[in-house]
Amino acid sequence: MISNEDEANKIREQLDNTRMIAGLISVEGPGLSVTLNDSKQAKEVEGDVSSYIVHEQDLRKVVNELFASGAEAISVNGERMIASSSIRCVGPTILVNSIKKAPPFEILAIGDPDTLLAGLEMPGGVLETLRLWNIQISTKKMDHIVIPGFIGTLNTDRLTILNP
């Protein structure tokens, strides 16, 4: 027979696991650090420097490739990426989860470091393309990464629970 305390502990465990999967609590594990910074040539170019700077689509491509390569959790400059996260351009800065960020951009991903790096480094992949524009890229496999939980507002006004 299960006691009330055992049942409460089981529910608490399930709730913690759900929060972890949703990205609402900090997590830790091995993974990969990727740092992107504008090309040094951006300062030397006269006129349009847009090809030599990190754009929001570059960040999105790296984040998407990391998730496709099996990343279990990702942050960009300390902002946890969750299902409703956004990366948008606003003038000279990039908004990550509606928080202004500027280069360098540090992307941390928890998962198998070798697999994550292989996904980013595949021929014709995102890092190869960024290197064509001399974007500064640094990658480092890490034994221990801590990724914070998402801090922000989750809009659930239009959600309805089915089959309760």
Asked if 137 and 36 count as a contact pair (C-beta separation under 8 A), the reply is yes
Instruction: State residue 56 phi and psi, 5-degree precision.
Output: -60, -35
CA-CA distance, 25 to 159, in Å (whole number)? 22
Work out the pLDDT band at 91, boundaries 50, 70, 90: confident
DSSP β-bridge partners for residue 65: none
- All structural domains of the chain with their residue ranges: 28-147
Does pLDDT of 74 surpass 70? Answer: yes
Work out the pLDDT band at 50, boundaries 50, 70, 90: confident
Query: In this predicted model, what pLDDT tens digit does every residue of 123-143 receive, in sequence order?
Result: 999 999 999 989 999 999 999
Distances from the Cα of 44 to the Cα of 38, 52, 130, angstroms: 12, 10, 18
pLDDT, mean of residues 47-75:
91
Query: CATH number for the 28-147 domain, one of 3.40.50.920, 1.20.1440.120, 3.40.50.280, 3.30.70.1880?
Result: 3.30.70.1880
Strand order across the beta sheet in which 136-147 lies: 79-80, 73-76, 105-110, 27-37, 136-147
| Bond before 104 cis per omega within 30 degrees | yes
Asked if 135 and 39 count as a contact pair (C-beta separation under 8 A), the reply is yes
Query: Alpha helix locations (H) across 3-155?
Result: 4-22, 56-68, 113-121, 126-132
